Amino acid sequence: MGGETDFWHDVSNHMPMARKPRDWDTYFIDLARQAATRSSCTQQHHGAVIVNNRHVRSTGYNGTPSGFGNCDEGACPRGANGDQAQPCVGLHAEANAILYADPGQREGATLYITKQPCLECAKLIANSGLREVVVPQPPAGEPSDAKEFLLDCKVRVRFV
């Protein structure tokens, strides 16, 4: 074989590779982070994944409605110049994930999101059939109005 390394060489002298811990929460939060990379928002990228019985049912990211121009193309008044006083025409990641999942897929499911939801999204979550929200640990001092609202609505909230 003229010095080429044979792919099927004897591996009996090699130690098995250490396996990374298999953590479902980390896996699904990472998928939400990946969904966030699709966002065209010029202000922030946010992602969401709806999971039921360890199966992804829907994903979402923040951005403008279908058929409307993208934020990074100047279609959003706020995104065009970064002026927070201007209206935002984008939908939040949670709303998009909920919209693209059938009601039966949402019933009793878990929503993984890249940051705490706003109060408007918390209302959608509470009425969607979702029973749990999993969020990365927020920075100290970040308001938790939506968390308290969700807990009042019997939706479990976990920080990982």
Which residue in 114, 121, 37, 116 sits closest to 72, CA to CA?
Answer: 37
| Active site (annotated) includes residue 4 | no
Q: What is the pLDDT of residue 3?
A: 52
Which residue in 65, 67, 19 sits closest to 41, CA to CA?
Answer: 65
> Among positive and negative, which fits the CA dihedral 66, 71, 76, 78?
positive
Residue 137 in contact with residue 154, Cβ under 8 Å?
no
Q: What is the pLDDT of residue 27?
A: 96
pTM: 0.83
Q: What is the pLDDT of residue 21?
A: 61
**Each residue's pLDDT tens digit in the chain (160 positions)?**
555 555 444 555 555 555 566 799 999 999 999 999 999 998 899 999 999 999 999 999 999 999 998 988 888 888 777 778 888 889 999 999 999 999 999 999 999 999 999 999 999 999 999 999 999 988 777 778 899 999 999 999 999 9
Which residue among the candidates 4, 73, 94, 132 is catalytic per the annotation?
A: 94
Q: What is the pLDDT of residue 16?
A: 58
Tokens of 7: 């792919």
Residue 42 in contact with residue 77, Cβ under 8 Å?
no
Q: What is the pLDDT of residue 80?
A: 77
Q: Which residues pair with 61 in a beta bridge?
A: 47
